[in-house]
Structure 1
């Protein structure tokens, strides 16, 4: 009888051990599945910085990307799990100037400025061609060819990306982005604010006010009259793009006045 109890005890211990081992393996597989792939991490780096990834390594839980840009070479470290930028360090500064139209390039004398572009550098890309090349940068708001006697010409474009406005400087012959500057966070438009308000209260828009003051996030106050003649005022945060408050106007009690 005692022998049977010992056998049952060892059997229970073995079952518990197998269950624990299976749980640990599944947890490890889940953690591994949540980590970013090298391609996903590379996309995160290129979304934030303009250039070409020329080297990739992975150390512990971090991806190390060497990015070659117009201004030099940078080391970008991306967290392999959450995709955050851990650090960015300039490794080499580019002080070389682009050759002018009279300089010679032994590799491609027909186009010394851009050996990969067979077109004559005297003829810049058209506006439509530049639009196509920067289509991945965000939603295009405006684009203009800037010509200056003091410096070479360039395209300047304003794009909206992730609710932020970016000003891009673009090489007119290659279509490459040579500089990107975040101008400001994009505010919610009046039309977008009205649509958000109507999602909160169904009715007819009676009035819209945009409020902007020091020390306070800009917001819209939108008055909506419902079919049953009630009136609500919805406050929409212009940055967060969401309704903050909904206030109903108090109705007079006609019966008390009679």
Structure 2
């Protein structure tokens, strides 16, 4: 009896230990679904994209923060450790030697310029245009974000932002199509569409839709070409109600 009790106790302990092992392996242990880039891989990627010396690399969860020393200054580059995308690129310090000999600087790449632009404003770069004026080289970028468009001018050698102008984007009102206008007119007067014309009345566009009814009466429906509002329904004066 005592031996059987000991065996039962030992078996119970084994079951508990097995359950604890399962919990530790599959519940408490974090599951990594994405293999992150190593520091060496990120270093090689940065060196291949930008000229300069990497002075410091820090990793915070899924983000690498890299300091890159270039002739034009000290830059901070943030890299997504999952996919290697450049999250931001900004200059932290300008080298004094760069100011004394700016003509001999190496021109920055479009990718570097775009990184500087997106570090100063969020959105999508629509255009990036290179310009040469009086021996100076600049890039002008237009960045679109929702209802705002920002024009940013950047020095191509120093990476300095020379100007930033933000403008609200006003989307033009869309004109109704002829089919939409005839659909609106048909709800006002039942019959066959005889004609439709777009006319400008007092600097406002209107559709004039002519409809002939089953009893051979004719009506002209005036519809605002933008809002679709029915301004008037006019019957042929030669016809009687």
Same fold (TM over 0.5): no
TM-score, normalising length: structure 2: 0.42
TM-score, normalising length: structure 1: 0.40
Q: Which of these two proteins has the greater Rg computed from alpha carbons?
A: 2
